[in-house]
Amino acid sequence: MNETLKQNRLLREPGDNSSYPSSSNDGKSHPDHQRNVSEFRLDDHGETSGGQSSLYARSREHMSSQKAVSLPSSPHEFRSQTSEKVGTSDYMVNDEMVSTWNKILESSMFQNKPLLPYREWNIDYSELAVGTRVGIGFFGEVFRGIWNGTDVAIKVFLEQDLTAENMEDFCNEIAILSRLRHPNVILFLGACTKPPRLSMVTEYMEMGSLYYLIHISGQKKKLSWRRRIKMLRDICRGLMCIHRMKIVHRDLKSANCLVNKHLKVKICDFGLSRMMTNGPMKDSSSAGTPEWMAPELIRNEPFTEKCDIFSLGVIMWELYTLNRPWDGTPPERVVYTVANEGSQLEIPEGPLGRLIADCWAEPNERPSCEDILARLLDCEYSLC
């Protein structure tokens, strides 16, 4: 990732940098998403009302407030009608770009392994019906779309952002996510790997991000203690799988935890993730979002998977207090005070507060995901 993007990532507002955010770039929430959240209520089985059929039908409606486009069954019809709106169909193949892409695929980072484990996961862009934009990432945009009759999220990498370094990040994310299979990790469905239309396709999460649900939707008071603890356990289970596969996420936060219509939480956005080594790792790139970052990452010191445990502690704090971490404090001030003064958010009382404090201890003293999962069960008994 180039230096400008590094700085933008480090100083960006926390709600803006999810790989699958739940609001558009102008700060207005996606109207379809807003309707889902406004109807958010739990039935006797702990599920939100409304089924997939209604969501699928709504995906084909015009949503004029966002200049949304309809999603016809034919992707060819869609592109002929909306190429100007989506802005991705006029890409021209650039010889230099293709050459760079081929060099990356032949580089040592893949150790002679294919980018995608199965050929069937390579999706032709013509198979996709790309619809309403639901967010902007660091070097791409996320759209709601349809693939093989299924609602999906499509992360489209913009042509102007396809530098060699960003292509490597794209490959890194695909290589990691395509090898993860867990109920609490976003499901990878495939990727378009022919430049300039580099795209990644994942399952679509109806309720958007946990950050949106807590801080923007206006529905946070409907989250019972039992539901909040269950969400934390979802995240912890997903992180346990990630760490078991020898992966460090490095950008765990509520905006990178997506929520489906059953209120199950899944971890997403592996663009900054790294494979573990035998000892602490060092990376020259800035990683994470200041409000959720472990001090060792902010100081660019060697790190282990325990940096994710610190971030999990911040998400615990969010779900306990229902407040934004470091609300009103500029990100650059957060960076300075956490890195140089050892500042922390105010730790609440009780068993969950003690667990949060342990997650914010020195790296080698932070608990494992297994320990956290067991202690969350105790927290559920005491709080519920």
Catalytic residue list = 251
Contact 275, 266 (CB under 8 A): no
**Contacts (Cβ under 8 Å, ≥6 apart) of 289:** 9, 10, 12, 14, 17, 251, 253, 255, 331
**Contacts (Cβ under 8 Å, ≥6 apart) of 376:** 229, 232, 233, 236, 355
Phi and psi at 351, nearest 5°, equal -65, -35
Ordered DSSP codes for 100-150 = HHHHHHTSGGGTT--SSSSGGGB--GGGEEEEEEEEE-SSEEEEEEEETTE
CA distances from 204 to 135, 197, 254, 271 (A): 13, 20, 17, 18
CA distances from 38 to 41, 156, 222, 349 (A): 9, 28, 11, 32
Contact 23, 216 (CB under 8 A): yes
Rounded distance, CA 358 to CA 54, Å? Answer: 44
Closest CA to 158 of 148, 143, 173: 143
Rounded distance, CA 145 to CA 132, Å? Answer: 7
155 marked as binding residue: yes
Phi-psi label, residue 155: left if phi above 0, alpha if psi -120 to 50, beta otherwise: beta
**Beta bridge pairs of residue 267:** 185, 257
DSSP 376: H
Q: What's the alpha-carbon Rg for the chain, to the nearest Å?
A: 20
Rounded distance, CA 236 to CA 218, Å? Answer: 25
- In the annotated binding site, the residues are 155
- In the annotated binding site for ATP, the residues are 155
